[in-house]
Amino acid sequence: MTDAYATQLKTGRSIFSTTPIYHIVPEENTITFASAINYTDVLIAPKGYNAADGASNLPTSLSYDGWSGAPYVGFSGNHFGLGFTASNGYVTSEYRAGSSTDESIARFSGVGFFGYYSTTLSVLPKSFVFSLFAGGTTLSALHEESNAFVNIKYRYGVTTYTSGLNIGIHLAKRFTWIPWIDYSTNRVGTPEFDGRTSTSSNDELEESIDLYWRSTPSLRYGIDFAVEVWGLDIHFGGILGALGNITNVTRRIEDNSNQMSFSISMKGG
């Protein structure tokens, strides 16, 4: 089921999506404050079944839910900038098969650092701003696996390195179109047991780790939109993407996930 979800993320998602928080690049000589909210709500049915029937009406099912928030601050001078972000949240999954249920939850927090280079091209209007960036995040996760027989806690780290490009195209005074692309690699540290140990749950742990940290494709791209309202830039590409996913998703997967970010900039001296 995790493989089906990973395939869906690679090939079946709408092109419209909110940029990850680290794609928010401060304009020249500004300080930018931003925040991102990510909501996950996925139900995966077995092959040949329809997720819309609901978990209680399926022979087996995998549900995947979670929330996370990410504050961000960025500084920019002449073409070059720096961005710092934090992250805090949780993800949880529940695998049902008949009368048995395996549950998993991972609570995580961490920080990230990114460097930027922004420029315009002489052959294009000044309203086209190209931004390159590279950086990474490090998270600490407390992961709990439980079923009718065991309840085991693990700790591990997740380190992600990311580089990418986006183009801010100012179509109107308060409206920006943002095509974006990035490539990420991540490394999940060796889980450390907290309390009792049991080899019987290792398969379940690996399945959960694959779902939480490895199902997202390494190469991601999309189109975001931002509108300025009272000095606040609201990125709403994820809302358009969620509407598009209503028709794009497979019958096996019901995905109501969404994301949104907000930013405000202050001119420097």
Q: Where are the domains of the chain?
A: 2-255
Average pLDDT, the chain: 86
Asked if the model's pLDDT at residue 269 lies above 60, the reply is no
- Out of 12-16, 233-237, 263-267, pick the least confident: 12-16
Residue 214 gets which letter from DSSP? I
Query: 191 and 155 in contact (C-beta within 8 Å)?
Result: yes
- Out of 103-117, 138-152, 160-174, 183-197, pick the least confident: 183-197
Confidence category of residue 248, pLDDT binned at 50, 70, 90:
low
Determine the 3-state secondary structure of 160 from DSSP. Answer: strand
List the end-to-end C-alpha distance of the chain, in Å, as a whole number: 53
Q: What percent of the chain has pLDDT over 90?
A: 44
Mean pLDDT of 169-179: 87
Mean pLDDT of 191-199: 63
- Out of 20-24, 189-193, 199-203, 222-226, pick the least confident: 199-203
More confident: 165 or 251: 165
pLDDT at position 41, please? 93
Note the CATH number of domain 2-255: 2.40.128
Task: Estimate to the nearest angstrom the gap between the alpha carbon of 29 and the chain centroid.
Answer: 28
Cα separation, 5 vs 255, in Å, equals 9
- Out of 8-17, 143-152, 169-178, pick the least confident: 8-17
Nearest to 265 by CA among 3, 91, 75: 75
Asked if the model's pLDDT at residue 255 lies above 90, the reply is no
pLDDT at position 245, please? 59
Mean pLDDT of 252-265: 87
Residue spans of beta strands (DSSP E) within 77-201: 80-97, 100-119, 128-146, 151-172, 175-188, 192-194
> pTM for this structure?
0.85
Q: 102-155: per-residue pLDDT in tens? A: 899 999 999 999 999 999 898 888 889 999 999 999 999 999 988 877 788 899
Mean pLDDT of 87-92: 96
pLDDT at position 12, please? 62
Asked if the model's pLDDT at residue 54 lies above 80, the reply is yes
pLDDT at position 198, please? 47
